[in-house]
Structure 1
Amino acid sequence: MLRSAASSCSTLLARTTLLPAAAPAKGSSSASSSSTATSTPSASSSAESSSSSSSSGGTPASPSSEPPSGAAATAAAAAAAAPPPGPSKPLVVESSSSPTQLDKLPLPFLSTPLGVAVRPTSAKKTWAQRREEMVSQERRMEKRRAIVKQATRGYFHDFHAIRSHGGKTWRAPSTLIREDRALFFPDIAGSCLADRSKTHTSDLFPGKVSVVCLLNSKISEEHTKSFYEQTLRTYGDHPKFQLVMINIQENTLKAYLISLFLSSLRSQVPESLHRTYLLSDQSLELERDAMGYHNKHVGYTYLVAPDAKIRWAGCAFAEREEATALASCTGVLLERLAEKARKK
């Protein structure tokens, strides 16, 4: 019995000797790594013993790295405690100043020609032209920029912008835009007030000097009227002059409601203008910047030559000099048109 007890004790002692060393506690991990990084003889011997124990079935030792300095450790702790970054800024920023601040700044004169580079046409697009537009990278980027701009602008952005100079963003030039630099007025289709027939602006322009008004409300109608009133009094009876009014309603529901009350609209518009008064629901989102059409609550007035090029433009309420400039520029175009007819 004594022999069997002695043999069992020796077996237990042997098993205890063969067991791997216990893993160090989490609290002592930094101390062990710090002692390893000092590269002292005792540290190297302990590293050798740990590697030998891992080769004999123990837990492998994790590689040690040099601890960061005091400044680096402080920066790392501050970065860990910092809050997550907020939402990114909008891609399109109209202005960093408020409308009240902008109202104190002087308005610039129109410095660039307005319009599109492609000559407008009322012809229906062919399948090849539509396919070319669908695969055009430039066209896709234009649509993307328009969507981004629309998404990053508030619903009442245009309404608040009226507080700055009454919605006026630039002053009209005192002279005509040069013919070689002028761009085209885009083709806009709408229902004619006279007989509800579909009419294109590109079919109205040839052979005429046109004052074109873009409006969508009563206030925008007053804006355009302040521009063309003097010109209409002077050249209203001229056979080569016409006033084209385009009531733009990009909201389909609003356009439908207005179409139900065309008879009431006819009574408000002089009969002589029914043929050139168009009600349109065409979207001008892609042409908005090119036309200088910055605010949907503001009326815009354009002087368009017989070749459909924009030779002059104004917006919001007209200043006295602007109304006079429109009348004089219209007279110049009518004289040039008459001179061309005489040469023929």
Structure 2
Amino acid sequence: MNRGYFADLAELKQHGGKIAAANKILIPAMAAVKFPEFEVSYSDGKSLKLPIKFDANEVEGNNSASALPVATLLCLSFRESSQAMINSWSAPFLDAFSSSKNVQLYEVSFIDSWLLCRNPIKKLLLRLMRKSSDNALNDSLQRKIVYSFGDHYYFRKELKIINLLSGYIFLLDKFGRIRWQGFGLATQEEVSSLLSCASLLLEEK
């Protein structure tokens, strides 16, 4: 889990970030595991916990249940070099579901540098991120760009994420369970699988 950059780079040269092939079918609900909770920040400094999921105890008798996403795509990037990988999944996903109110997409950048996680630097960094994302105001409302600061060792361990140079894609259902997973740069076949599985999630009761 704590191996160095050059080990990740050597592995990346072997498979181009394709840790494994993406799922071809939707993982059955009974076999799916829950995605670990973690905190993220928007560029304006507001924070929330992901994944956003249905909780019968919290939403019983509450109209906000209808606003919860039925399907959520989480795109995880630990290094800037993996952004192209993330885009290969998120762009077609947005094209397919941008008009759906039941789908959400989060692109999460993980920042683990001790210096960048210090509060004054963190605030400055978020302010810079906000300026750089001003051109994205016309994007779909379901697309959220967020940042997660701090040590993510145990988070990565739970998800078995070792290579920090690759991109990691998770499709979650409304209960926060992992129903599909992809890695690295998307192939056309894998994109088709993702879109098909997301459509199936929207049809689940």
Q: TM-score, structure 2 length as denominator?
A: 0.81
Larger radius of gyration: 1
1:300 maps to which of 168, 174, 189:
168
Q: CA deviation at 1:234?
A: 1.2
1:227 maps to which of 89, 92, 106:
89
Identity %: 26
1:205 maps to which of 40, 49, 53:
53
Say whether residues 1:171 and 2:24 are aligned partners: no
Distance 2:99 2:5 in 1: 42
Higher helix share: 1
Q: CA deviation at 1:283?
A: 2.5
1:94-143: CA deviations, max 9, x gaps? xxxxxxxxxxxxxxxxxxxxxxxxxxxxxxxxxxxxxxxxxxxxxxxxxx
Q: Which residue of 1 aligns with 2:197?
A: 329
The CA RMSD over aligned residues, in Å, is 2.1
Q: Which residue of 1 aligns with 2:126?
A: 259
Q: Which residue of 2 aligns with 1:146?
A: none
Q: CA deviation at 1:314?
A: 0.5
Say whether residues 1:320 and 2:182 are aligned partners: no
Distance 2:193 2:142 in 1: 26
Question: Does structure 2 retain, via aligned residues, the 8 Å contact 1:227–1:323?
Answer: yes
Map 1:71-150; keep pairs closer than 5 Å. Answer: 149-150=1-2
2:105 alignment partner, SS class = strand
Q: CA deviation at 1:178?
A: 1.3
Distance 2:161 2:132 in 1: 24
Q: Which residue of 2 aligns with 1:49?
A: none
Q: CA deviation at 1:278?
A: 1.5
Residues 252 and 240 of structure 1: is their aligned pair in 2 closer, same or farther, counting only changes over 3 Å? Answer: same
Distance 1:219 1:273 in 2: 25
**Aligned residue identity for 1:245:** E
Higher strand share: 2
Question: Does structure 2 retain, via aligned residues, the 8 Å contact 1:298–1:316?
Answer: yes
Residue segments in structure 2 that go unaligned for 5+ positions in a row: 55-67
1:323 alignment partner, SS class = helix
Residue segments in structure 1 that go unaligned for 5+ positions in a row: 1-148
Distance 1:270 1:298 in 2: 27
Q: CA deviation at 1:183?
A: 0.7
Q: Which residue of 2 aligns with 1:215?
A: 77
Q: TM-score, structure 1 length as denominator?
A: 0.50
Equivalent pairs counted in the alignment come to 185
Distance 1:329 1:282 in 2: 32
1:32-65: CA deviations, max 9, x gaps? xxxxxxxxxxxxxxxxxxxxxxxxxxxxxxxxxx
Q: Which residue of 2 aligns with 1:189?
A: 39
